[in-house]
Amino acid sequence: MPGPAPAQVVETMALPAPDLFSSAGRETGLGAELWDGASAATARSVLPMLAQKPLSPAASALARSVLATGARGPEGAGNDPEVAAARAQALVVLGEAPAAQAILRRSGGLERSEALSRVGAEAALLTGADQEACDIAQALSVARDQVYWLRLRAYCQARAEDPAARLTYELAQGVDRDAVFGRLMGARLTGTGDPGAASVRNGLDLALSRSLGLDLTTAEPGPGVGPALSGEVPPPQARWPMIATEGPVSAAMAVLAQGDIALAEGVRGTLVQDEVPQAGALDLALLDALIAAASGRQDRPTLDRLVERGGVGEARNRRRAQEAALLLAALGTPLGPQARGEFVSFNLAAPKAPVARSFAMDQAAAARLTGETALLALWTSAEAGPGGPGAADRARIIAALSAVGLADHARAFAVEGLLALR
């Protein structure tokens, strides 16, 4: 008789941890190599900042684009739930809750991460998917006694007419009493009494206020809640609110700020220097620079005019012309010999970004590290505030973004800077 068959040796291989950056929130046009070579330390520094500091429209558009892209994350950070949660939270705050929701729906392990689950629940509540938020709360296996989850479970139980809702509500108030939550949730539980004014500090407040039929237009929205109230996701391209003052030049700048380059060019075609009301030579040069920047065209005659205006007139107007020349040159319009000779004498304000960070951005751009360059540009932008960086830092950002193929965003930073000089 044949002997027993030899035992088979089964080799096992540990599966790599899932990459939490690989899921896309929407189509952005950026490739899967976005984060190649990017620093995990930089990502850990910058991503939380994007949800905490106000950004200019150009910086917001850049942040939303890179964060919504599906690409394997920075080495050492792609499988870190805290970093992934910071990415999703920044999208929520920047008005892209649907993108964050799409990413987290395709990400594994939410139930094992309080941070990821919280962003997922808030994104769901902001988009009106209350049951999805309740499912996330139910599935969570860690930190379930944190007050946010007690409050959300109380709301979910009330939706389901579960008698346990009142006990959960009382537990939440015992952990951290909140007058607004107490007022809204108390009215939700009793079904009687005046709940008072709506609150839209976050997704949970919004869901409670909606469920009570309150007027949401009277409340001051918290971060990321405004777009949820309007039902509109910010456009992928940067747009700038601008009220035109008197005169056709201001009107042309205002329509360009809303993305209508053709109309701005049409208005410009009707204007003749020295015959334009409420506008001088510098105003026309700034409009021409704006049109060139927005359309991605080199415009050496306009650059020459700006350099010329940078050496004459009042100090304030000289500064405007000098900074405009710097921004247009940063986009790639070359300075001629004479203009370059005049340009080098300009006493432009010094940059505010740390020298090491600016050098690192230049190095990243030279190495074509798209994601790293974007993160370092966003770091400087976030520290600058809602008006965006000054001309010196902005010019460096424009050149760096252009070098890594983010030309649309480089143009947006240039347009933003030029609009500030109007």
**Per-residue pLDDT tens over the stretch 89-109:** 999 999 999 999 999 999 989
Q: Is the predicted pLDDT of residue 10 greater than 70, yes or no?
A: no
According to the model, what pLDDT value does residue 15 have? Answer: 43
Provide mean pLDDT across the span 317-337. 97
SS3 content of the chain, % helix, strand, coil (to 5): 60, 0, 40
Over the range 189-214, which residues count as b (16 or more CB within 10 Å of their CB) and which as e? Answer: eeeeeebeebbbbbbbbbbbbebeeb
The confidence score (pLDDT) of residue 13 equals: 44
Residue 17, pLDDT above cutoff 70: no
- State the pTM of this model: 0.94
Q: What is d(CA 340, CA 207) in angstroms, rounded to the nearest whole number?
A: 59
Q: For residue range 343-359, list pLDDT tens digits in order.
A: 999 999 999 999 999 99
| Stretch 260-288: mean pLDDT | 87
Statement: residue 244 has pLDDT above 90: no
Rounded Cα distance, 245 and 251, in Å: 7
